[in-house]
Copies of this chain bind each other. A is one copy, B any other.
Amino acid sequence: MKLYDCRVAPNPRRARMFLAEKGIALDTVEVDILGGENLQAAFLAINPRGLLPVLELDDGTRIDEVMSICRYFEELQPAPRLLGRDARERAIVTSRQRKMEFDGMIAASEVFRNGHADFARRSLPGAGSDVLPAIPALIERGRQTLARFFHWLEVYLGEADYLAGDAFSMVDITAVCAIDFAGWCDIHVPPGNARTLDWYTRVSARPSAQA
């Protein structure tokens, strides 16, 4: 098995954090997104969508999409459980994980891509989207969505120590990666959100956060 990875990209970081929490070490192939390697023929033969991360199984099967990769390893090595410990908790983790993606990761991506000169002709990531010019109105939409994201983090952390209850989970991984991604655009947790700032310090101090 090997993981096609990219050190600087937020989604591959989610996979690395997940694997590090489980103590799983994989062979990795670094793909240079900044140099455009993900959109060149060699990598498009691995993933025609040009996106990372991609997991390649020993039988040659390739699995893209970070949550697919995480679910696969949650089955192969359940401990520690990062996607919930019983059916009810798994449903909650799935639900909140998606909010962290939609309102956190994707909103940060919209702000970043649609405001950055390098992506003036590529509003969406990956291959086949080079005819989609940036849409500046998405910067404001992303900022408003991130404001709601920060609000909900504070609400969830008023209920428990982590974002899906008393155990660290994928929800926390996606949220911290989204926060650091939003930071690229100088968007940060509001200074009054004390619970979130405390949680962010705790999660960022985990060794996996450096993976």
**Interface residue ranges, A against B (CB under 8 Å):** 55, 57, 61, 63-65, 67-69, 71-72, 75-76, 87-88, 90-92, 94-95, 98-99, 123-124, 128-129, 131-133, 135, 137-138, 140-141, 144-145, 148
Q: A163 CA to B148 CA in the complex, in Å? A: 35
How many copies, total?
Answer: 2
Q: Is the CB of A87 within 8 A of B94?
A: no
Main secondary structure of the interface of A (DSSP, over half): helix
| Max chain B C-beta neighbours (<10 A), residue from A65, A140, A145 | A65
Q: Which of A75, A95, A141, A148 has the most B CB atoms < 10 Å from its CB?
A: A95
How near does chain B come to A97, taking the closest CB pair, in angstroms? Answer: 9
Alpha-carbon distance A95/B90, docked complex (angstroms): 18
CA distance A158 to B63 in the complex (A): 18
Among B71, B124, B141, B144, contact of A135 (Cβ-Cβ < 8 Å): B141
Given contacts A135-B137, A138-B135, contact A87 B72 (CB under 8 A): yes
Task: Please determine whether A57 and B88 come into contact, CB atoms closer than 8 angstroms.
Answer: yes
- Cα distance A141–B145 in the bound complex, in angstroms: 19
